Structure 1
Amino acid sequence: MSIPRLGDVRHNRTLQYNVRRKDHPLPLGSAKTDNGESMPPSEIRDSIKAQLLEKVRKHDFGRYLFKASIGRIRGFSGEDITFDFPVTALIGPNGSGKSAVLGAAGCAYKPIKPGTFFPKSTVGDESMSGWSVEYELVDKQINPRQLVKRNSSFRQAKWVRRDVADREVLFFGIERTVPAGEKTRYKALMRSTYIHRPPLEPLNADVATQVEHILGKSVQDYRITKYGLDDTFLVGRFGVNNYSEFHFGAGESSVIRMVSRIESAPENSLILIEEIENGLHPVATRRMVEYLIDVAERKSIQTVFTTHSDYALSPLPNEAIWASIDGKLRQGKLSVEALRAVSGRVDKKLAVFVEDEFAKCWVDTILREMLGADYDQIEVHAVHGDGNAVKTHRSHMQNPAINFRSLCVIDGDSAQQEDPDAGIIRLPGRQPELAVFDAIRGSLNENLAILTVSCQRAPEAQELVRRSIDDVSRTNRDPHLLFNQVGIKIGFVPEATVRGAFLVLWVRAHLVFCNELATKAKQLIAT
């Protein structure tokens, strides 16, 4: 079978995404948060994520929570969540129900009592009657071939669960980052009369290795000792000096304890974590999520966590992220910044919803070039998927409580219907990166000098730039990598720089479309 080349009509989106699943090098400049802050690239390869997604799809775990259908709990009614990846992130504004979904997941299993997450107060909880969740579980011991169905419901003032499945579940709540000196169980250690007899022992070697990778510091000289009946206490070391857990950072202590418990947990366990970033540096947060993906691969352990951090989302595939917004659950990778817009929390006058990060850059460039000072009144947000973009935009139009206007810009190959009167506008071309690349490549004779300098290369490098663009056009199989590949060939110029140079030239060559989009934006800003 011949391989379609750039511009071939057979070069369809199915091929692009199939190729994208392979282990391409990370595009230069792509490892950034939504506000542009640089961060190290993820160490989890795409192939590992693809294998884990496939393992879930085939139900190839000994025990696994595959789906929870919320009949009614708190603000949710008739909402489903599928755990398509063994590490699932729950995002949403404060009070949106992330913890409710986390608790609903835990209540699928015997070790988690429903009252832990959903206690009933004699004051204010009259509406709990009728709360229910149905589950679809993988449990090879109960049924080696089919999903197992179970349910939890609140009726007659108590939770009812019949034939509840058993599974090791570890829950790490917010209290894990409370400093040791504030925990009452350690008060005895502060008394001068206390005598401690158990020995100080080294951390488990595997635990120390994983902790070092997450925190970026050595813990080889740290010690742990038994305390009380079933508790432990940590002792650190800096140079030649020891120091107790009373003087640990909150994140340092919590990571050591979490990793220790996870490494000793049996295979196919379930981990629940509240606000995974709590007490951690952003890069350590990202590494903690990478560790959980590694644990999923090594030990078939499933994790569900809540977060407000983009860094926690960066290593995850789109299928692993669920947003809780106004009583609805939506799957797909939203940045925390985009989540603000989706949930109606924007200080600007206009939010523009697009499918992905490239469309965000494209529309941002158009509006920045065309609007001048009015550009400050706009935010552009990628919401993962053309369907999500249209749905979010339409819900904003129908919600009188939201005090800003919105637009939706869909890709040229989107299956969604454009409707300019309703604020749904289609970008030109079939595939976004390819459309921009081909347009500029077709006008290189006029624009080569400007493009070369805009790519931060000297004027005498024009022929290198031309040759590199031609080479990439012949060899590229995945348009998502076009600007990364050009950047490498012309001297390791960051992808963002090359992409920006192409986009600015595209805007200046397509003023009719850009003026129409800018005019629509201005009208909405003015209303």
Structure 2
Amino acid sequence: MPQVPPTLSPLQHDWSTARNTSKGWPQFLESVQVSGLRGWSGERVEFRFPVTAIAGENGAGKSTVLKASAAAYTTSQQDGLTFYPDDFFPNTPWETVDGVALEYQIRRGDAVNTITLRKPSKRWRGMPDRYPRAVFYLDISRTQPINTLVGYGKIAKELNFPGQVTPFSEDDRALLSRIMNRAYVDSGMARHAGKQVGILTTATGAYSNFHQGAGEDATADLVALIRTAPNNSLVIIDEVEASLHPRAQRRLMTELFDISRKRRIQFILSTHSHVILEQLPTEARVYIQGQRTGPRGIIYGITPEFAMSLMDDKDHPELFLYCEDNEASVMVDSLIRQEAPEISGRISVVPVGAASSVTMLGDIATAGNLPAKSLGVLDADQPSHVGCIRLPGSLAPEKEAFQGLDDAAWEKVALRLDVRVADLLDAVDDAQQITNHHAWVRRVAERLGPRIRVTRVWEDITAVWAKDVVDPGVRNGFVESIKQELNA
């Protein structure tokens, strides 16, 4: 399991308890809806957490959402820039932009207002209705080091160091040091020809952007931006992981969570990184599924594994089964292996997040807009939905298995785990005292000792459940539904 950033839990606590109060996020962009632009036809993207990341293939529409979001507000000169739709979506010799509408749900305190910017023909309308808020937008061009610019040698000679350098504060220098895991003893920014030039000093001496890696350059720019962003700002970052290795990506997200909580800044990010996605809570992940025909699919709570499978170009199994979480995927696999093991190698069972993500994929699969044969698998406690089947029973997976196994079945689990049945039953009874059923399997593993893995406990429980507890006719019907889809 990925390590949870230590700054995430405090942010989640503040968000859940104070989001709509004066001590919370008094300004928040809740959603943007795009119509008539780059293939968008009224789809809405919601931002459900102070730090939200949008994933998707190139061309799916991530940058369109980020740019539209940047145009939602107006701001004073000292608080960033005021962005206009024409800054991002201009007419060109090849495109004429008209018939466009951008609709925003904007929360200010405890009131939610709707603002619409429209371009029915030649002019954008609705600009005076925009609310004031500091907005900062970092696009992918920040990752282009200054030494890749034409004439950069001339620029280097013209800079008059150190007089033109604005030093970082000690807090900003420490922030940069933590992200890059380097001991900077001094740091600052110069500006020339519209380009910020970072000056970093370590124990071995000072060096500028001209001799920095792209990751240092881009991160120094980000720190410089955050330094000037006032509380309650909206900060938008395209390709947040650009030029950073995985450990630096994790450290960056740790810092963004902390900054968002302390300064009530809203971050909207785009990413192609598994590492970035796994640092985020479920509600902070959004995936845009581009379609060959029809509207885009907006999937919330997507797992990092599923996001990567959608963006990967490797060969795919013949059928994808999309379920809510790892516990459900193991249960599905156990049913298939018990009833029809010969098809298991032709199927990939993928956890995708919340039930709403499974039903969304069921809709997209029914419309024929996924790249491979696909079927949603809902937990037994969920209602039926088109494009989906349901696990046997009527309860969530952990409840269905724990409450379905009798003492004889638990004895078989104990034999598989090579533990005393009395110890296992005591662990099971203890686990079921926990209100959150998602914690039951881990508690059983903890009670049985360090040599017993959590995943092994659940695999052995579901194997016995699939063989000895599930009615054979029900098990056969479940697997037959999968085989029919596989052979369709």
TM range (shorter): 0.7 to 0.9
Q: Does 1:330 align with 2:293?
A: no
Equivalent positions of 1:184-195 (< 5 A) are 184=150, 186-188=152-154, 190-191=156-157
Aligned-pair CA distance for 1:89? 1.5
Instruction: State the distance in 1 between where 2:410 and 2:102 align.
Output: 63
Choose the corresponding residue for 1:177, options 133, 143, 147.
143
Alpha-carbon distance in structure 1 between the residues aligned to 2:244 and 2:141:
14
Are the equivalent residues in 2 in contact too, given 1:268–1:299 (CA < 8 A)?
yes
Structure 1 residue aligned with 2:390: 425
1:61–1:48 CA distance, 2 compared to 1 (3 A): closer
In 2 relative to 1, CA 212–484 (structure 1 residues): closer, same or farther, beyond 3 Å? farther
User: SS of the residue aligned with 2:125?
Assistant: strand
User: Is the aligned partner of 1:283 residue 2:247?
Assistant: yes
Aligned-residue offset at 1:482: 0.4
2:111 to 143, 146, 158: 146
The one-letter code matched in structure 1 to 2:87 is T
Mean CA deviation greater in 267-276 or 305-314: 305-314
- In the TM superposition, 1:207-226 aligns within 5 A as 207-215=172-180, 217-226=181-190
* Equivalent pairs, count: 471
Match of 1:233 in 2: 197
Give the SS at the match of 1:291: helix
CA deviation string 1:70-95 (max 9, x = no partner): 34322222222332322222122221
Question: 1:237–1:391: structure 2 CA closer, same or farther, 3 Å change rule?
Answer: closer
In the alignment, what sits opposite 2:87? 116
Displacement of 1:46 after TM fit?
A: 3.9
- Name the TM-score, length of structure 1 as normaliser: 0.79
The answer to whether residue 180 in structure 2 is matched with residue 204 in structure 1 is: no
What's the CA shift string for 1:275-295, capped at 9, x where partnerless?
111112223323323322222
Contact 1:208/1:219 (<8 A) preserved? no
Asked if the contact 2:382/2:390 (under 8 Å) is kept, the reply is no
Q: CA deviation at 1:225?
A: 4.7
If asked which structure has higher relative contact order (CA below 8 Å, sep 6+), I would say 1
Counterpart selection for 1:495 from 440, 454, 461: 454
Asked whether 1:168 is paired with 2:134, we answer yes
2:331 to 362, 380, 391: 362
- SS, match of residue 353 in structure 2: coil
Q: Matched residues in 1 for 2:28 and 2:371: separation?
A: 42
Whole-angstrom CA distance in 2 between matches of 1:250 and 1:222: 19
Is residue 132 from structure 1 mapped to residue 96 from structure 2 by the alignment?
no
CA distance in 2, matches of 1:104, 1:522: 44
Checking the alignment, whether the CA contact within 8 Å between 2:299 and 2:357 is kept in structure 1 is no
Q: What do you get for the CA RMSD once the two structures are aligned?
A: 3.2
Query: What does the per-residue CA deviation read over 1:223-262, in whole Å, with 9 as the maximum and x for residues that have no partner?
Result: 3253437754334456535443333221222122202321
Moved more, 167-176 or 344-353: 344-353
In structure 2, relative to structure 1, the CA distance for the partners of 1:101 and 1:518 (3 Å cut) is same
List aligned pairs for 1:87-102, cutoff 5 A.
87-102=51-66
| Cα distance in 1 between the residues matched to 2:275 and 2:6 | 13
Distance of aligned partners of 1:168 and 1:507 in 2 relative to their CA distance in 1, 3 Å threshold: same
Residues 348 and 58 (structure 1), Cα distance of their counterparts in 2 relative to 1, 3 Å cut: farther
SS at the partner of 1:330? strand
SS at match of 1:338: helix
DSSP-derived class of the 1:167 partner:
coil
Report deviation, 1:178.
1.5
- Give me the whole-angstrom Cα distance separating, in 1, the residues matched to 2:156 and 2:227: 30
CA spacing shift, 1:525–1:147, aligned 2, 3 Å: closer
Q: Deviations over 1:130-178 (max 9, x none)?
A: 10112232346xxxx6334432122433433431333221111111112
Q: Quick check: 1:356–1:384 contact (8 Å CA) kept in 2? A: yes
Matched-pair contact (CA < 8 Å) for 1:409–1:427 = no
Contact 2:70/2:136 (<8 A) preserved: no
Secondary structure at the aligned position of 2:446 is classed as: helix
Gaps of at least 5 residues in structure 1 are 1-30, 32-38, 454-458
- Counterpart residue type for residue 393 of structure 1: G
TM-score w.r.t. the length of structure 2 is 0.85
* Residue 351 (structure 1) aligned to one of 320, 325, 341: 320
**Cα separation, 1, equivalents of 2:486 and 2:213:** 46
Residue ranges of structure 2 left out of the alignment (5+ in a row): 75-81
Q: Distance in 1 between matches of 2:438 and 2:179?
A: 30
Distance 2:150 2:84 in 1: 24
- CA deviation profile, 1:328-386 (whole Å, cap 9, x unmatched): 35352113542477799872211112233321232134335554453232122233333
Question: Percent sequence identity over matched residues?
Answer: 23
Q: 2:487 corresponds to which residue?
A: 526
Task: Tell me, yes or no, if the aligned pair for 1:202 and 1:221 is still in contact at 8 Å.
Answer: no
How many Å separate the matches in 2 of 1:450 and 1:181? 65
Conserved 8 A contact 1:53-1:84: no
